[in-house]
Structure 1
């Protein structure tokens, strides 16, 4: 006798229908949002001592609806240029705490694609009547006054006294819409000390995350516990002499990069980034070769001073990207330099005790040669990539890992030094070759 299936209840028969309807409803709601993201405007502000600069970003599609015109990438810079600039200027205003209006200026517009949407972008300038920027109220209703659903994101992307110096620090003040057409912009509330501390942090970050700068410093430190005689490396007679050598190396590098950092940041010298970065890679190669065999007497001091000049140009490029005004330039240079020196001293403090201990063991020649060859390999790879002779650096992964785990590297070297001290305590004369001059 065949088995009979249980009869389906009315609710069970309707369940597939409900599921299908739910899927269609979710798909219908989700698809428009995914296919047609709502464009927003943006106001980006750079707060300085005597003025506020920035830019206004207007999505062309939303602007067309607001002004009731057919706008294209070509027309906003052509037939509609004057009208749109006049329209935008009429809907931007700034008022100080004393209720006095500020002067508003718009620069020449350009079209830029942002998040896949064409935007009309105007440089913005706001100037207080007394030439002193303090907290002010920004009144803004471009597009918003006609398109009630439109949103405008207002962001401060630079304010030295409040420690806002780069994109990662940018502060979103709020959103302008049909209900909120003005926002208070804080200014003049911080201090030079906060900006100084932030730039010092940038110096620490720039060196701490820069594999090339760290590797250059390490290549200079490796021969510091040694002395060169007859073109060969030998263990230094005392720890005191090692410390003196390290002080000389760090001081020479600091003087070199400080000089070019100041000259480049003030615009006295200006070199393209690619040649500078290529020279930095070459500086690592030279210091690695010197770690293998002494090139000249006290060569690491000479290399540190000479190539410190090149590294200073690279440091200056970051300061240039910040767009600093003259008022904060001196403070920035001092803070940034302090951050660099603190990072260098930290590297020295982490590595030199272990290197001094290792240098008095039979294991140091092999360690020194291995590290120097690794540095030479990395530097050659960087040089080829930065000179546009290769498209990528095959060692980028391991470099990133090493830079991301400095304490682990320092602990590993320290452990190696302790083990070597107990298993191979005697340091023989370091290996052959006659390249370079001796230093007694």
Structure 2
């Protein structure tokens, strides 16, 4: 697909790539190999699974087409937030309240898992506690506060509700009319974290191969085989954790996700005084519009501001300037801040924004994790743990997610992107009218 070349070019300008040290390189696969579990994708989900499986005594090989953390895992907004990308009602309607509560508890466990791994493996990923959800209109404020009340009442997850009069104590912005603060969620440097997980996985015994794109998956024999440009791997079981980068090797699941471009800018450091004036808690911030803005101050006080999206796989024109204007509209005090980096890339979204985990119907020995829908920084790590539990013989928690139903995007390969573009135009208009 043509988005791959754009993705490669955009990622080159990442603030994260400029501020993380790649102190380990992993050789490409040459020739034939065999293992217990082969994992396609060297991002957070694949590396998490590799760690968990290697620690359980499985022989593991990770096949990464480019570099560890090249995809969304290493260039996202850095926000680790409770819950899923979809509203919890989506899970309630399909699985019932009790199972929805179980899913939500796993999303909180995912946050705890990040902290535990950083501590255990000495990963300095600039973690900071705190998430601030904000609303841009009275209607959105009602939705935000009602959602927070539901989580407190039905999911035992209280957050601090912030009425408009109290907002200046939390954020200096003219845009917002209400907010909620969650001290358990937080933010970090995603590439530093991903590289740290790779070091941990290798230290636990997993073999990682970079520059090893998988060209085909063959499930016709007794064991699945992954073919690469210069070799092949035979495995007892396979995990597909490449999301939008699987590129045709599993068409039966790829129709259920779509590549969506997301974009972020970084400013030069603005200093601790201004940063704390604008966001006193230095929490990550995200609004609840359908086409949303999300931002945070990095450890060096650079503002990282994301918000523009592309549903057509075409990079927006004048990306840095258009993003700067969005940033200044939310935080006018940053009008003079210099934009130093502008980058982006593609994430996978599902139709209902719920994560899509399961096994290939044609081969139950092939597991897959996809559909994180832009909310995967924490959940990817938990997903890797769940699939490791399933491969180890305890599939109860994995199968809770696997029971969530998903539909392919309508229109097939030719029409599904134009249909999505039209749908998103409607949501933009609805947000604007609100």
TM-score tier (shorter): under 0.3
- Which structure has greater helix proportion? 1
Per chain length, whose mean CA-contact separation is higher, i.e. which structure has more relative contact order (CA < 8 Å, sep 6+)? 2
**Bigger strand fraction:** 2
Larger radius of gyration: 1
- Give the TM-score, by structure 1 length: 0.20
TM-score of the aligned structures, taking structure 2 as reference length: 0.20
